[in-house]
Amino acid sequence: MTDTTLVAEHPLLERFPEGVTPDERKGYEGFIVAADRLVEFATALRDEFGYDYLSSVTGVDYLPDGKMEVVYHAYKSTGGGALVFKVQVPRENPVVPSLVSVYPGADFQEREAWDLLGIRFEGHPNLKRILMWEGFAGHPLRKDWKEAYFEEEKKPFGSRWPGGAVHRAEDENPFGKNVVYPPDFDPEKWTPVGDEALYAGLREFKKDDDLKTEQVVVNLGPQHPSTHGVFRMVVTLDGETVVRLEPVMGYLHRNHEKIGERNTYLMNIPFTDRLDYLSSMSNNWGYVQAVEKLLGDKIQVPERAEYLRVIMAEFTRIVNHIFAIGTLLNDLGAYFTPMLYALEERELILDIFEAVSGSRMMCNYFRFGGVARDLPPGVYEKMRDLVFERLPRKIDELDRYLTENEVVRARCEGVGVLTPEEAIAFSAAGPVLRASGVPYDVRRADPYGIYDRFEFDVAVRYHGDVYDRYLIRLDEIRQSIRILQQALDQLPEGDVIFGSPKYSMRVPAGEAYGRVEGPKGELGFYVVSDGSANPWRYHVRAPSFINLTALSRMCEGDKVADAIIILGSIDIVLGETDR
């Protein structure tokens, strides 16, 4: 609800005459809920008002005001805009009731807010660090937390600009590395208590039969190709059956959001490329959309740029999905042959990305108010050849080789099932959500850009297993080709950027949430501006991270070999998971 009048008249205020008030800060939206009414409010929101899908949970440190805020974005799985609600608690003792009992998808997001900001969620079933290691000192997203190599609060640093006196900060700190240890801490003598607690919680499980077997706890990863990066699954096995699984992540964490809050707004665009490094164009779009919302009428996107954004985003979806299909077949044991077919088509699309952005992988192309540059000569014709000729034929070929393969079907059908109710409850997004029978796609449910101009179907499958998560990606590739054909036919002439490029700007104070339907699901950026040239809060709703919330539920009852392909069917990238 962005209109203040509509918020003031919302029936939620009648339902909760006490403890719920509109957020009347200039540039803000939604409701502020008293902490002691939060669980009741969220339950009513889900059961009485139909907001059954909790997409995003964000912690914010308002250091000057002495408070912490938790911001929730809830949606209806049938479509529509967000209902935003918030809780504010004292910064000295930030305790907020957990919403995991109402929205299980809040699990990992609440752990992240505890880990990085020190907000304690009372009643959370497993509140512990998730991105930092258990011996880490402090909560690094707090505004008063300083790293060992701290130089300045905001960029550009005085040592870099305008003089360019660059030095390595690590060389000037006494540790010679970027860590600070707690007082009296000796890393050589430290026992990883977090791991002990983790293993203890995974050992005791009752069996449904009388067969005497010994349960064992096994680590899959983090250094293993089947985990798609530095990711670890701690699994309790009864024979070869998965009884319990807990994902362990954070090995690649580099505090992306802290970096983002020190950068200027423009500096953050190339940092978004490094999240899901297979889908950099979509990452660009989600972030610039959030900043454009903050800028409001001060900036407009030209028609041609709107079309170029859609074209690049849909090519990105194809790149991601064919890569995901190739790696899934690798996990199934087909080794690299299907992957090579996928990579060949991906390389041809990366040729286009390189031509327009100068890079094949980290594509820094989107800008506030448009895109960085127009299409070079010959690229439009190359895109038409791909979209109208080669890609439809090659996707049909991939389908013909794989879909009816007896090994693929035997390994994937009925494995890793996630029901529609579970998918919504766990805040699953993208192909994982739609393969479970929920036809929710941000491009249709809450349209952005010019997606409302195109004819395309929201791909949906109904079994919620690995096989349907494979098929849904083939379906979505075909719909992306359909969108691309329309966009290329309709592409108008004109400018590709509003005004002159903005290298530094002051953004009006307020908050904004920009979300796109990325290849892996809803990718959202929550940005708070204090009116300066740097974001006060910069938070990423990462689909790779949140989709893992349901991993344990998908794996329980299946075999240990199945856990590998279930993880592969979710399609994660650790740069986005860990940030």
At 522 the three-state DSSP class reads strand
Q: How far apart are CA 129 and CA 139, in angstroms?
A: 10
pLDDT at 3 over 70: no
Q: When comparing pLDDT for 287 and 188, which is higher?
A: 287
According to the model, what pLDDT value does residue 494 have?
A: 93
pLDDT at 203 over 70: no
According to the model, what pLDDT value does residue 566 have?
A: 94
Q: Give the range among 9-13, 226-230, 338-342, 470-474 with minimum mean pLDDT.
A: 226-230
According to the model, what pLDDT value does residue 238 have?
A: 87
Q: When comparing pLDDT for 479 and 3, which is higher?
A: 479
Could you check whether the bond before residue 222 is cis, i.e. omega within 30 degrees of 0?
Answer: yes
Mean pLDDT of 397-419: 92
Q: How far apart are CA 414 and CA 28, in angstroms?
A: 45
DSSP secondary structure, 207-240, as one string: -SS-----EEEEEE-SEEGGGTEE-EEEEEEETT
Contact in structure between 554 and 566 (CB atoms under 8 Å) = yes
Mean pLDDT of 326-343: 87
Q: How far apart are CA 100 and CA 110, in angstroms?
A: 8
At 47 the three-state DSSP class reads helix
Terminal Cα-to-Cα distance of the chain (whole angstroms):
29
pLDDT at 361 over 50: yes
Phi then psi for residue 556, to 5 deg, are -60, 125
Q: Which domains does the chain have, with CATH numbers?
A: 7-122 (3.30.460.80), 256-578 (1.10.645.10)
Detail the DSSP E strand segments found in 34-81.
53-62, 67-75
Helix (H) or strand (E) holding 289: helix 280-295
According to the model, what pLDDT value does residue 193 have?
A: 63
DSSP-assigned letter for residue 86: E
Mean pLDDT of 225-239: 85
Q: How far apart are CA 508 and CA 420, in angstroms?
A: 40
According to the model, what pLDDT value does residue 380 have?
A: 95
pLDDT band at 200 (very low <50, low <70, confident <90, very high): low
pTM for the whole structure: 0.91
HSE of 284, CA atoms in CB hemisphere, 13 A = 27
Owner of token pair 């807990």: 246
pLDDT at 383 over 70: yes
CA 197 to chain CA centroid, nearest Å: 28
Maximum pairwise Cα distance, the chain: 75
Q: What are the angstrom distances between the C-alpha of 289 and each of 268, 285, 370, 385, 448?
A: 13, 6, 10, 30, 9
pLDDT at 175 over 70: no
pLDDT band at 186 (very low <50, low <70, confident <90, very high): confident
Mean pLDDT of 157-165: 79
Helical H segments across 403-490, by residue range: 406-412, 420-425, 431-434, 442-445, 466-490
Q: Which residues make beta-bridge pairs with 89?
A: 68
Q: Give the range among 42-46, 97-101, 226-230, 528-532 with minimum mean pLDDT.
A: 226-230
What order do you get walking across the sheet with 215-220 strand by strand? Answer: 215-220, 232-238, 241-248
DSSP-assigned letter for residue 559: B
pLDDT band at 341 (very low <50, low <70, confident <90, very high): confident
pLDDT at 1 over 50: no
According to the model, what pLDDT value does residue 2 have?
A: 45
DSSP secondary structure, 385-415, as one string: HIIIIIHHHHHHHHHHHHTT-HHHHHHHTTS
Q: How far apart are CA 441 and CA 394, in angstroms?
A: 25
pLDDT at 474 over 50: yes
According to the model, what pLDDT value does residue 29 have?
A: 93
What tens digit of pLDDT does each residue of 298-326 get? 889 999 999 999 999 999 999 999 999 99
pLDDT at 369 over 80: yes
According to the model, what pLDDT value does residue 159 have?
A: 80
Contact in structure between 305 and 497 (CB atoms under 8 Å) = yes
Within 10 A of 274 (CB to CB), how many other CB atoms are there? Answer: 17
Q: When comparing pLDDT for 191 and 290, which is higher?
A: 290
Mean pLDDT of 391-414: 92
The dihedral through the CA atoms of 149, 153, 154, 157 has a sign that is: negative
Mean pLDDT of 515-526: 94
- Name the percent of the chain lying above pLDDT 90: 65
Q: List the structure tokens of 508.
A: 């009006």
pLDDT band at 71 (very low <50, low <70, confident <90, very high): very high
pLDDT band at 548 (very low <50, low <70, confident <90, very high): very high
CA 368 to chain CA centroid, nearest Å: 21
Q: Please enumerate in sequence order all residues whose Cβ is within 8 A of that of 185, keeping only pairs 6 or more positions apart, or say none.
A: 135, 137
Contact in structure between 237 and 537 (CB atoms under 8 Å) = no
- Name the percent of the chain lying above pLDDT 70: 93
Mean pLDDT of 506-530: 93
pLDDT band at 116 (very low <50, low <70, confident <90, very high): very high
Q: List the structure tokens of 222.
A: 């983090």
Q: When comparing pLDDT for 177 and 485, which is higher?
A: 485
Q: What are the angstrom distances between the C-alpha of 310 and each of 214, 305, 487?
A: 54, 9, 8
According to the model, what pLDDT value does residue 500 have?
A: 77
Q: Using CB atoms within 10 Å of the CB of residue 431, give its burial: 0 to 12 exposed, 13 to 18 middle, 19+ buried.
A: buried
DSSP-assigned letter for residue 497: B
